[in-house]
Amino acid sequence: MKRNYLLLTPGPLSTTETVREAMMQDWCTWDKDYNEGVVMPIRRGLLEIAGLDENRYTTVLLQGSGTYCVEAAIGTSVGPHDKLLILANGAYGERMARIADYYRIDYKLVSLRETEPVTGAAALKALAETPDATHLSMVHSETTTGLLNRIDEVADVLRGRDITFIVDAMSSFGGIPIDIEKLGIDYLVSSANKCIQGVPGFGFVIARKEKLRAARGNARSLSLDLCAQWETMEKGRGKWRFTSPTHVVHAFRQALQELREEGGIAARHRRYAENHRLLTEGMRGLGFRTLLPDDVQGCIITSFLYPSAAFDFSDFYEKLKAKGYVIYPGKISEADTFRIGNIGDIHPADIGGLLEAVGEVLRS
Ligand SMILES: *Cc1c(COP(=O)(O)O)cnc(C)c1O
């Protein structure tokens, strides 16, 4: 089926025809062909592409969008007597504090500017001011702006401290190499419809078994109890506790296979980086400026400043959409921006087509 338009957004994103075709059948949610034959290989496959040992790490799949999984990770791992330190520089980091509010978790939120990266220095300062922190959470690729936070530097600061490390790698896992074990990440959260290039409907948490086991009984939500979901998936060999998004799971299996065929995370990262490079170069050539300096900008999504005060975003958006390209509004308070995603089934030739369309819209 022909595409309606190309999604240059950070999820849902443009998927391949073969991923969409994988959904054209109905499946039973508790059948063993599905659980053992589809769900379990996905759980193992995610550990495999992350380079993790099954004896020490596990993958738990959970219904809902990415936020459900961030909430499940925080709500399951942070106990009633723990203290969560949140390092935020955008909407997704701030959302972790909203989750903590709902759970009445004792937390400290450090809000940096949206254009300022979360670094080792920021973590060191925050930890000195929050000596009773038992957990630290942050976002890797802050999709609000496209900024890539320094999880490596924060990991260095956390080394040797007894602090659980929770990373929202929603928009980076699968598209940027992350050495989860070396970085000492205890919970890494991502979802089906970002860099693995599946469709929306569930997310997943890659967790250190030892930490997840110790969190048993912590959850204050039934459906978002990550431990209970894990236990059911282990005992039932891939069984979900409640109705699973069977079509979406099949699409995801196909997407994971296509990630392997592309050459894995390193190869996908090269493609996204090339998309980003061409996009930035081309947009600058057309007179646009990026919100972020190049040294903190990631390759997932790019924020561009409005070229002038008179710039009409909705007109620009509609004209691009009519040419087959859907872009994304900005989300920050500091400046007028719009965003263009580089992820999904998007290739350098597509970026070329988009730039041509942007040029035509500007001249019209
Ligand atoms: C997409 C995304 C989420 C999850 O958002 P949902 O709308 O719940 O899917 C969380 N964090 C980051 C950084 C994201 O990019």
Mutate to test the pocket of ligand 1, among 65, 195, 202 (most ligand atoms within 8 A of CB): 65
Predicted local confidence at residue 29, as pLDDT:
87
Ligand 1 atom 12: the closest Cα is on which residue?
Answer: 170
- pLDDT, the chain, mean: 97
Ranges of residues in the chain whose predicted pLDDT is under 50: none
Element (H, E) at 338: strand 337-341
**Domains of the chain, earliest start first:** 6-11+264-363 (3.90.1150.10), 17-260 (3.40.640.10)
Predicted local confidence at residue 2, as pLDDT:
80
Residues enclosing ligand 1, CB less than 6 A? Answer: 10-11, 65-67, 70, 92, 139, 143, 168, 170-171, 191
pLDDT in tens, 131-174: 999 999 999 999 999 999 999 999 999 999 999 999 999 999 99
Cα(67) to centroid of ligand 1, in Å?
6
Cα(363) to centroid of ligand 1, in Å?
35
Cα(92) to centroid of ligand 1, in Å?
7
Distance CA(364)–CA(357), nearest Å, equals 11
Task: Give residue 76's identity as a one-letter amino acid code.
Answer: T
Atom of ligand 1 nearest to the CA of 169: 13
Predicted local confidence at residue 55, as pLDDT:
97
**64-to-33, 67, 248, 282 alpha-carbon distances in Å:** 23, 8, 11, 36
CA 7 to chain centre: 16
Predicted local confidence at residue 73, as pLDDT:
98
Q: Residue 287 burial by CB count (10 A; 0-12/13-18/19+): exposed, middle or buried? A: exposed
pLDDT in tens, 315-348: 999 999 999 999 999 988 788 999 999 999 999 9
Mutate to test the pocket of ligand 1, among 7, 99, 171 (most ligand atoms within 8 A of CB): 171
**DSSP three-state, residue 163:** coil
Cα(343) to centroid of ligand 1, in Å?
14
